[in-house]
Structure 1
């Protein structure tokens, strides 16, 4: 997904390892327009990211579902089996 977004001209920052508050802040989440999560096991990062940047658009691109407590904070969930990265990136970049 990161490469597909970069191909659309979107600046991409990645968080390696655990997406905790410090890692998200270091990646620039405070100034970001979009938070794309590709590992549903890291879903707790969504409320943390939204706390740091309430205007952030949170998108999950993963086969696994996100926990119930996170669903209300997610703007869009996409199953990779249904849409290819290039298609999703084109829509997100628009």
Structure 2
């Protein structure tokens, strides 16, 4: 993470509270919902973000787009569903919320 306030884009429904947990760690969080597109990611600040946290594996095709827009981006899937195989090479980490609480994940991502 950068020495300035870390930033994250959290995309998808956040039923397990990863966005709030990141905010508790001092991260500036932008939230996106619905069907996502490259322009929405750009408008949300993905180009300068430190983290892209996806909570909806149905939107997994946004991970290569986000990586294309930001070479230094860390990509995280925080979801109960399995990540599609074709995405795994561009993903830094995938965590099932049933196995690790959002506050622990946020702490690990920031510190």
What are structure 1's unaligned runs of at least 5 residues? Answer: none
Secondary structure, counterpart of 1:17 in structure 2: coil
Partner of 2:86: 69
Partner of 1:17: 34
- Residues 7-46 of structure 1: pairs in structure 2 closer than 5 A: 7-46=24-63
Partner of 2:21: 4
Q: CA deviation at 1:77?
A: 0.5
Partner of 2:12: none
Partner of 1:54: 71
Secondary structure, counterpart of 2:75 in structure 1: strand
- TM-score normalised by structure 2 residue count: 0.82
Q: Larger % of helix: which?
A: 1
Which segments of structure 1 move beyond 3 Å, counting only runs of 4 or more?
A: none
Find the aligned partners of 2:36 and 2:66 in 1 and give their Cα distance: 9
Q: CA deviation at 1:19?
A: 1.9
Question: How large is the RMSD of aligned CA atoms in angstroms?
Answer: 0.7
Secondary structure, counterpart of 2:90 in structure 1: coil
Q: Larger % of strand: which?
A: 2
What are structure 2's unaligned runs of at least 5 residues? Answer: 1-17
Find the aligned partners of 1:77 and 1:16 in 2 and give their Cα distance: 19
